[in-house]
Every structure is written in structure tokens, then in C-alpha cells.
Amino acid sequence: MKKYISQVVVAVVCALLGFLLAYQFKLLNTQEKRITNNQSYNQQDLTTEIEQLKKEKEDYEKKNNEILRQLKEYENAAASKDDTTKELKKQLDDTRMLLGSVDVQGPGIVLYLKPKDNVFSNNVVTQYLTDNELVYIVNELFFSGAEAISINDKRITMQTGIKSSSGNSFILINGEKISPRERITIKAIGEKAKLIGALDFPGALDFNQLVYYEVKRDESDNIKMGKFSKMFKYEYIKPIK
Amino acid sequence: MIAFIGLLIGILIGIFWDVNIPDKFSPYMSVAILACLDSVFGAIRASLSKNFHADIFISGFFGNAALAAALAYLGDKLGIPIYMAAVIVFGGRIFDNFAIIRRLVIEKAKSHE
């Protein structure tokens, strides 16, 4: 009897060992499969995928513009019926303009920021712009009455976030990249005198890395600015009734 | 004999049963498996030299596995690869036991002729 018990126990223990071995091998096999799947993304696949996605994005933008144009036509047709709809349409158009969903034009300034060439001052290490400097400029402009601002033709809206990548190789605005190593164009539409006054104020543009940038300013009576072509998100905010 | 059948059954269960042991245990599992293999080889050697005691085998099996896993865990926390000690010692013992098994088997074969 004792012999049987001991044999059974030995069998159970061996079963446990077999189970552990099989399980471990299975686990390692599935892990390897997962890893080899990831490694099949070599550089060529990535570049072709990026090209394809860029082309898709362009196609979608074209379609989007076309649909917006049709929408405008329908709205105009509907609003030409009576005065209340005309008033509503006007409010709708104004709201859209302020949100950044339509192209706008108006008087204002254009700022060009270019990294200074190190030709004359070799011991000045060029630090590049980060999100802090851009946010500072946008804040100054809004504070001086800018009604619309765009950076490198990307419209700044109330849901726009500006963030540098780690290592500052690029800055993300509205999810799109701009490079701080090349010229950055900031357009602002508003009252020209106030905007110019704010920027010319002594020390206004002496913020962090801006001192390493050459700032050129143009004024114009007709600055054109593109619209914010993505969708706004409002899944969390709800109006209070 | 029975042990072999038990092993096969265990392997089959391992292949077909989808258990979800949390992934963080898997490095400890490897060392525990090594400890179990060492116990099994010791048991085979003991049974060949008619010295097998089931209780010693079972206590060695679970005890070694638990100690090896505990050492690996401690090594993780301390940042020292202590599991190396378990690997080297158990690996060494497996080879030693295998050498003794080999001798016993060959002597048995010789004495049968």
C-alpha cells in the first residue's frame, strides 16, 4: 500500500514537472512569435506606409474641402429664405470664424523666427526653440488683442496644444510637426498698432531661447490665414441646461 | 514506469490547458523547472541504487523549487543575478547525477551478461 502511494505521488510530481515544462515552452514560443512579428517592420515598409498615409490624408483633405463648400451652399440657400435664418447663419459663420474653422483674412503682423547663424559668434551655442517660447509668443499676441494666430500655417485654436518632442527635434502643433531648426512663421490678425506695440516693447522678445533667434516682423493690411482642418473634440463637455 | 507516464500526462496537460499564470512569474518558473529537473535526476539515481525514499524526493522537489524561485526573486530585488547560483549548482548536480546514473546502468548491463 505504501509502495503504491509513493509511486502515485512520484507520478503526480512528474506530471507537475511535465506540465511546467510544456507551459514554459508554450509561453516562450508565443513570446518569440510576437517579437518576430514586430521585427518584420523594416525601414522600407515604414517609408512606403508613410507615403501611402500621406496620400490618403491629402485625398481626405480634398474631400473635406469639397464637402464644406457644398455645406456652405446649402446653408446659403436655406438662409436666403427669411430673416431669422439669415441671422442664425450670420451667428454660425461668426462662431466658425472665431473657432478657426474657416479661412480668415485681415490686418495684422507676420513674425519670422530664424535661428541665428553662428558665423560671427562661434562661442554662442545655438539653443533651439521649444514649446515654451512659442506659447509665450502666442500668449503675448492674444494678450495684445490678436483675434487669430497661426504658426507655420497651422491655426491656433482653443484646443491647440503645443509641445516639444523629447530632445527637441521637432515641435508638435495640432498633432503636426514643425522644426525649430528652420524658419518659423507666426501670423496674427488683430489691431496692428497694439500688436506692434506689444512686440516692440523692450524685453518682450527676450524670453529663454528667443535671444538665439533672429526676429523679423512684417505688417500687412491683408494677412490670410488658413483654417483648422481637423475636428474639434467635445465628447466630455456638455452644456448646463 | 509510472513516473514516465506521469511525465507524459503532465506534458499533455501543459500543451492543452490554457492557464494564465501572470507573466511576471515566468523568470522564476525557469529556475524552478531547473530545480525540479535536478530532483528528478536525483530520484532516478536513488532508485537505481535502491536508495529511493519518496518523502525525501518530494520534499527535495518542492523545497528546491521554492528556494530557487525565492533566490531569483531576491536577486531581482537586490539587482544581483543570484539566480546564476541556482543555475550553476543545479546544472552541476544534474551532470553529476547523470554521470552516476550512467555508471550504474552500465554496471547493471555488464552484470547481467
Q: Is the model's pLDDT at A174 over the cut of 90? A: no
- More confident call, B89 vs A214: B89
The C-alpha cell at A152 is 507655420
Nearest residue of chain B to residue A16 (CA atoms): B10
The residue-averaged pLDDT of A110-114 equals: 88
The residue-averaged pLDDT of B85-94 equals: 90
Nearest to B83 by CA among B64, B68, B65: B68
Nearest-Cα distance to chain A for B110, in Å, is 28
Nearest-Cα distance to chain B for A32, in Å, is 14
Q: Is the model's pLDDT at B32 over the cut of 80? A: yes
- Binned at pLDDT 50, 70 and 90, residue B88 comes out as very high
How many angstroms separate the CA atoms of B26 and A218, rounded?
64
Look over chain A and give the mean of its residue pLDDT values, rounded to a whole number.
83
Q: According to the model, what pLDDT value does residue B91 have?
A: 92
Question: Per-residue pLDDT tens for A34-87?
Answer: 766 665 567 788 888 888 899 998 888 888 888 888 888 888 887 777 777 888
pTM as predicted: 0.51
Contacting residues of A for B15, CB less than 8 Å apart: 22, 26
ipTM exceeding cut-off 0.95 for this assembly: no
Cα atoms in the Cβ-side hemisphere of radius 13 Å centred on A191: 7
Question: Per-residue pLDDT tens for A127-171?
Answer: 778 888 889 889 988 999 889 999 988 898 888 888 888 777 888
The residue-averaged pLDDT of A183-197 equals: 89
Q: According to the model, what pLDDT value does residue B94 have?
A: 93
Of A6, A9, A17, the CB nearest to B10: A17
Contacting residues of B for A13, CB less than 8 Å apart: 6, 57-58, 61
Question: To the nearest whole percent, how much of chain B has pLDDT over 70?
Answer: 94
Contacting residues of A for B69, CB less than 8 Å apart: none
Of B19, B37, B58, the CB nearest to A23: B19
The residue-averaged pLDDT of A180-204 equals: 87
CB-based contact, A9 to chain B, within 8 Å = yes
- Binned at pLDDT 50, 70 and 90, residue A123 comes out as low
Question: To the nearest whole percent, how much of chain A has pLDDT over 70?
Answer: 92
The residue-averaged pLDDT of A196-218 equals: 82
Q: What is the 3-state secondary structure (H, E, C) of A49-89?
A: HHHHHHHHHHHHHHHHHHHHHHHHHHHHHHHCCCHHHHHHH
Q: According to the model, what pLDDT value does residue A159 have?
A: 87
* Range among A20-24, A206-210, B94-98 rated most confident: B94-98
DSSP state of A128: P
- Binned at pLDDT 50, 70 and 90, residue B99 comes out as very high
CA B13 to chain centre: 19
Nearest residue of chain B to residue A27 (CA atoms): B26
Asked if residues B34 and B91 have their Cβ atoms less than 8 Å apart, the reply is yes
Question: Per-residue pLDDT tens for A94-106?
Answer: 888 888 888 888 9
Q: In the A/B pair of chains, how many CB contacts fall below 8 A? A: 85
Q: Which residues of B touch A (CB under 8 A)?
A: 1-15, 17, 19, 21, 26, 29-30, 32-33, 36-37, 40, 43, 54, 57-58, 61
The C-alpha cell at B28 is 522564476
Q: According to the model, what pLDDT value does residue B97 have?
A: 93
Mutate which of A23, A28, A32, A34 to test chain B, going by most B C-beta atoms within 10 A? A23
Question: Per-residue pLDDT tens for B38-68?
Answer: 988 888 888 888 888 888 888 888 898 888 8
Question: To the nearest whole percent, how much of chain A has pLDDT over 90?
Answer: 4
Contacting residues of A for B59, CB less than 8 Å apart: none
* Identity of residue B72: A
What's the start-to-end Cα distance of chain B, in Å? Answer: 23
Look over chain B and give the mean of its residue pLDDT values, rounded to a whole number.
85
Other Cβ atoms less than 10 A from the Cβ of B71: the count is: 18
Q: According to the model, what pLDDT value does residue B100 have?
A: 93
